């Protein structure tokens, strides 16, 4: 069967996989078991927010626990965390912590990454049903089939994948280092990039390498449209635009930039860590943010004198928002839910993550 290609008007030579993973069901978060446990708990529903915070502070000391939170977490979780960051920064923090317990406030694949890097520590996630629509677009078996069709291929797996998918990869990458990782791969190798096609297109554009793309997407970032970006830039002519490379419009924006339809001196493509670095040093008084809205809390704390405006105010990841204060408290109190990755997946996935960390 001939592989499908992206529309030729994008001017790209992109072969897409014959297996189209988009038929996967997105994980549900409507009413999780952890939420039910909170509602049935004899103590938690009667605690005020202040009491929950005090108990969390007490328990984190008693258990020698570190709380890691992704940039998309709700504000109170970010404020309580020992460290807030993007996927790469959290993986690096997890790799060097000496805490006995890591409580990971993020989605499940991120907690798995922490567990892979710290098999001797206890890694907890307050709600194990915090999934990811992007990670759900590819399985380990599908990667094995894809590799069989490309025996010379080097698999680069975005960190937004489950542990058994990482175990099939040669390298992991995050949005902040995907370009570097692909540049480190010898020119004579085919590259199989998964699962985010928008990030893969961006990397292809930046490196000039021909990349086979998995056709996955994050439902939050795929919702961004180039028209919304253009409108926002026109409304705020003094603003910088910070665009996440997972966004559905990123390739259109790259072409619009090349065509002079977007102002190159005001348009930046960054992962969430890059956004933080940018706002610290940019003189622009206003920043338009094209990513999940949890990022705005982090940026406002980093640069309180600047204004941050979401390009899409309803860009909300419901999986990230499943982590709440009561669940964080219960996680520390009852030591739930432990995330473990067993051999041989652990060693193979760890190898792919460590190869990424060596490059960046
Ligand atoms: S924002 Fe998208 S990629 Fe990130 S955790 Fe949510 S669904 Fe996954």
82-99 pLDDT, tens digit each = 999 988 788 789 888 999
Q: Of 341, 356, 357, 359, which is closest to residue 169 (Cα–Cα)? A: 356
| Size of the chain in residues | 360
Note the pLDDT of residue 226.
86
Note the pLDDT of residue 255.
67
Is there a domain that residue 78 lies in?
A: yes
Is there a domain that residue 349 lies in?
A: no
Is there a domain that residue 355 lies in?
A: no
H or E stretch at 235: helix 226-235
Domain boundary among 162, 192, 213: 213
**Predicted structure pTM score:** 0.89
The ligand 1 atom nearest the CA atom of 319: 6
Note the pLDDT of residue 173.
93
Whether residues 124 and 99 share a domain: the answer is yes
DSSP-derived letter for residue 46 is G
Q: Are 360 and 180 in contact (CB under 8 A)?
A: yes
CA distances 75 to 118, 242, 315, 356, Å, are 27, 20, 16, 30
Name the pairing type of β-strands 101-105 and 286-290. unpaired
Phi, psi of 288 (to 5 degrees): -95, 125
Whether residues 126 and 143 share a domain: the answer is no
Whether residues 197 and 115 share a domain: the answer is no
Residues 6+ apart with CB under 8 A from 264: 257
Q: Compute, in angstroms, the gap from residue 175 CA to the centroid of ligand 1.
A: 12
Is there a domain that residue 96 lies in?
A: yes
Rounded to whole angstroms, how far apart are CA atoms 155 and 157?
6
Whether residues 38 and 124 share a domain: the answer is yes
Whether residues 275 and 324 share a domain: the answer is no
Whether residues 76 and 154 share a domain: the answer is no
Residue nearest to ligand 1 atom 6, measured at CA: 317
Whether residues 238 and 111 share a domain: the answer is no
Residue nearest to ligand 1 atom 5, measured at CA: 132
Whether residues 227 and 99 share a domain: the answer is no
Domain boundary among 213, 246, 267: 213
Whether residues 208 and 236 share a domain: the answer is no
Whether residues 241 and 292 share a domain: the answer is yes
Q: How do residues 30-46 score in pLDDT, each as one tens digit?
A: 789 999 999 999 999 99
Rounded to whole angstroms, how far apart are CA atoms 259 and 138?
34
Is there a domain that residue 283 lies in?
A: yes
The answer, yes or no, to whether any atom of ligand 1 lies below 6 A from the CB of 52, is no
Q: Are 219 and 248 in contact (CB under 8 A)?
A: no
Residues 6+ apart with CB under 8 A from 166: 113, 116, 157, 159, 172, 348, 349, 352, 353
H or E stretch at 109: helix 108-117
List the chain residues with pLDDT less than 70. Answer: 1-25, 29, 251, 255, 258
- Torsion angle of alpha carbons 53, 56, 57, 58, nearest 10°? 120
Whether residues 82 and 166 share a domain: the answer is no
Q: Compute, in angstroms, the gap from residue 2 CA to the centroid of ligand 1.
A: 31
Q: Compute, in angstroms, the gap from residue 114 CA to the centroid of ligand 1.
A: 17
3-state secondary structure of 242: strand
Note the pLDDT of residue 5.
40
The answer, yes or no, to whether any atom of ligand 1 lies below 6 A from the CB of 202, is no
Is there a domain that residue 358 lies in?
A: no
| Start-to-end C-alpha separation, the chain | 38
Which tokens is 3 given?
């592989």
Is there a domain that residue 348 lies in?
A: no
CA distances 201 to 10, 38, 147, 157, 317, Å, are 11, 42, 19, 14, 22
Rounded to whole angstroms, how far apart are CA atoms 298 and 189?
39
Total of domains in the chain: 3
Residue nearest to ligand 1 atom 3, measured at CA: 218
Q: Whole domain around residue 242: which residue ranges?
A: 221-310
Phi, psi of 113 (to 5 degrees): -60, -45
Is there a domain that residue 100 lies in?
A: yes
Domain boundary among 174, 195, 213: 213
Count of beta carbons in the 10 Å neighbourhood of residue 6: 17
The answer, yes or no, to whether any atom of ligand 1 lies below 6 A from the CB of 174, is no
H or E stretch at 193: strand 190-194
Q: How do residues 193-226 score in pLDDT, each as one tens digit?
A: 999 988 998 899 899 998 999 999 898 998 888 8
Note the pLDDT of residue 18.
40
The answer, yes or no, to whether any atom of ligand 1 lies below 6 A from the CB of 211, is no
Q: Which value, in Å, is the radius of gyration of the alpha carbons in the chain?
A: 20
H or E stretch at 79: helix 75-80
Rounded to whole angstroms, how far apart are CA atoms 112 and 89?
15
Whether residues 304 and 327 share a domain: the answer is no
Residue whose entry in the numeric block shows the structure tokens 């899409």 = 312
Residue whose entry in the numeric block shows the structure tokens 């069709």 = 149
3-state secondary structure of 357: helix
Query: Domain holding 246: CATH number?
Result: 3.40.50.10800
């Amino acid at each position: 069967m001939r592989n499908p290609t992206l529309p030729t008007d994008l001017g790209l030579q992109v072969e897409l996989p014959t297996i189209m993973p988009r038929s996967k069901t997105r994980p549900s978060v409507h009413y999780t078991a952890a939420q039910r446990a909170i509602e049935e708990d004899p103590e938690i529903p009667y605690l005020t927010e202040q009491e929950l915070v005090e108990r969390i502070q007490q328990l984190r000391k008693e258990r020698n626990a570190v709380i890691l939170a992704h940039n998309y977490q709700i504000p109170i979780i970010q404020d309580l965390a020992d460290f807030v960051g993007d996927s790469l920064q959290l993986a690096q923090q997890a790799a060097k912590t000496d805490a006995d317990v890591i409580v990971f406030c993020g989605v499940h694949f991120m907690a798995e990454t922490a567990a892979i890097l710290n098999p001797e520590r206890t890694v907890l996630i307050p709600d194990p049903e915090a999934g990811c629509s992007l990670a759900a677009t590819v399985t380990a078996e599908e990667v094995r089939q894809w590799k069989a069709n490309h025996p010379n291929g080097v698999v680069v797996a975005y960190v937004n994948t489950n542990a058994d998918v990482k175990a099939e990869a040669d390298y992991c990458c995050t949005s902040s280092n995907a370009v570097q990782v692909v540049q480190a791969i010898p020119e004579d190798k085919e590259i199989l990039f998964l699962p985010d096609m928008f990030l893969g297109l961006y990397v292809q554009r930046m490196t000039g390498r021909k990349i086979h793309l998995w056709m996955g997407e994050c439902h939050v970032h795929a919702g961004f449209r180039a028209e919304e970006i253009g409108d926002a830039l026109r409304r705020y002519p003094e603003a910088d635009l910070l665009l996440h490379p997972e966004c559905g419009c990123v390739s259109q924006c790259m072409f619009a930039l090349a065509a002079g339809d977007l102002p190159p001196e005001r348009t930046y493509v960054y992962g969430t860590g890059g956004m933080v670095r940018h706002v610290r040093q940019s003189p622009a008084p206003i920043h338009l943010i094209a990513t999940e809205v949890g990022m705005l809390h982090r940026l406002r704390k980093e640069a309180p004198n600047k204004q941050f405006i979401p390009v899409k105010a309803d860009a909300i990841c419901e999986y990230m928002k499943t982590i709440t204060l009561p669940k964080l408290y219960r996680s520390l109190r009852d030591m739930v839910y432990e995330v473990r990755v067993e051999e041989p997946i652990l060693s193979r996935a760890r190898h792919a993550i460590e190869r990424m960390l060596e490059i960046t």
